[in-house]
Amino acid sequence: MITFERVSKFYPHGVNALKDVSVSIAAGEFVSIVGQSGTGKTTLAKLIIAEEHPSEGRVIIGDWDITHIPTADVPLLRRQIGVVFQDFKLLPQKTLFENVAFALEVSGALPSKIQQIVPQVLKIVGLDQKMHRFPREVSGGEQQRTVIARALVHRPKILLADEPTGNLDAINANEIIELLLKINSFGTTVVLVTHNREIVNSLRKRVITLDRGHLVSDQATGKYRL
Which strand (E) or helix (H) includes residue 114? helix 111-124
Q: What is the pTM of this model?
A: 0.91
In contact, 148 and 125? CB cutoff 8 Å: yes
Which strand (E) or helix (H) includes residue 193? strand 189-193
Q: Which residues pair with 59 in a beta bridge?
A: 4
CA 169 remoteness from chain centre? 19
The bridge status of strand 206-211 relative to strand 30-34 is parallel
Which strand (E) or helix (H) includes residue 5? strand 2-11
Q: Which of 109, 126, 155 is where one domain is finished? A: 155
CATH code where residue 10 lies:
3.40.50.300
**9 with 72, same domain?**
yes
Q: Which pLDDT score, from 0 to 100, does residue 137 have? A: 97
**58 with 170, same domain?**
yes
User: Which residue range(s) make up the domain with 132?
Assistant: 86-155
pLDDT tens digits in sequence order for the chain, 226 residues long: 899 999 999 998 888 899 999 999 999 999 999 988 888 999 999 999 999 999 999 999 999 999 999 999 998 898 899 999 877 789 999 999 999 999 999 889 999 999 999 999 999 999 999 999 999 999 999 999 999 999 999 999 999 999 988 888 888 899 999 999 999 999 999 999 998 888 999 999 999 999 999 999 999 988 877 6
**36 with 8, same domain?**
yes
Q: Which of 114, 136, 155 is where one domain is finished? A: 155
**150 with 43, same domain?**
no
**112 with 213, same domain?**
no
**6 with 69, same domain?**
yes
How far is it, in rounded angstroms, from Cα 200 to Cα 107? 34
